């Protein structure tokens, strides 16, 4: 093998190692990607099989008026809407100070779907709840969903 062939073999070997490294990094990160969904998106995605039961997702929309309550065990219940569909949320933890009904919110957690008597119902078990930080801010994802006019 002459010098030119050795250089080409070395370069090919380095590109192969680099490509394999990038593949491993992207493969490892695919489980850490969490997508944002509106209640309508969740309903459609569950029906189409894109979201499985107990999938980790981010659910965003507006907190439905008169849907907030806390039970004796301290579990918080509220509903998130995109003005077309509603998903009930349960959360055990401390809510952000600016959390209130009628405001934008994004909750991260697990979706549970159930079919009873042919009706598909959803419950969302939130592990994290994020609220807007002032009266002028709404998460971009929530704003886009509401702007589309669901």
Residues 49, 107: Cα–Cα separation, whole Å: 21
pLDDT of residue 83: 86
- For 95-140, how does the pLDDT look when each residue is reduced to its tens digit (9 = 90+)? 888 888 888 899 999 988 777 766 777 889 999 998 865 556 666 7
109-133 b/e with 16+ CB inside 10 Å = b? bebebeeeeeeeebebebeebbbbe
pLDDT of residue 34: 67
Residues 26, 145: Cα–Cα separation, whole Å: 28
Superfamily of the domain at 34-148: Nucleic acid-binding proteins (2.40.50.140)
DSSP 8-state assignment for residue 65: T
* Highest mean pLDDT (candidates 34-38, 80-84, 116-120): 80-84
Domain ranges of the chain: 1-32, 34-148
Residues 42, 52: Cα–Cα separation, whole Å: 10
């Amino acid at each position: 093998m002459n010098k030119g062939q050795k250089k080409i073999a070395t370069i090919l070997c380095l590109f192969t190692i680099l490509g394999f490294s990038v593949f491993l990094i992207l493969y490892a990160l695919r489980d850490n990607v969490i997508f944002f969904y509106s209640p309508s998106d969740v309903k459609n995605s569950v029906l189409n099989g894109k979201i499985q039961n107990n999938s980790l997702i981010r659910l965003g929309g507006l907190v439905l008026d008169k849907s907030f309550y806390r039970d004796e065990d301290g579990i918080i219940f509220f509903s998130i809407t995109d003005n077309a569909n509603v998903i009930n949320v349960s959360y055990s933890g401390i809510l952000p100070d600016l959390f209130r009904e009628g405001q934008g919110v994004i909750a991260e957690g697990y979706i549970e779907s159930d079919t009873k008597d042919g009706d598909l119902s959803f419950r969302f078990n939130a592990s994290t709840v994020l609220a807007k930080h002032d009266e002028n801010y709404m998460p971009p994802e929530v704003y886009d969903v509401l702007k589309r006019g669901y």
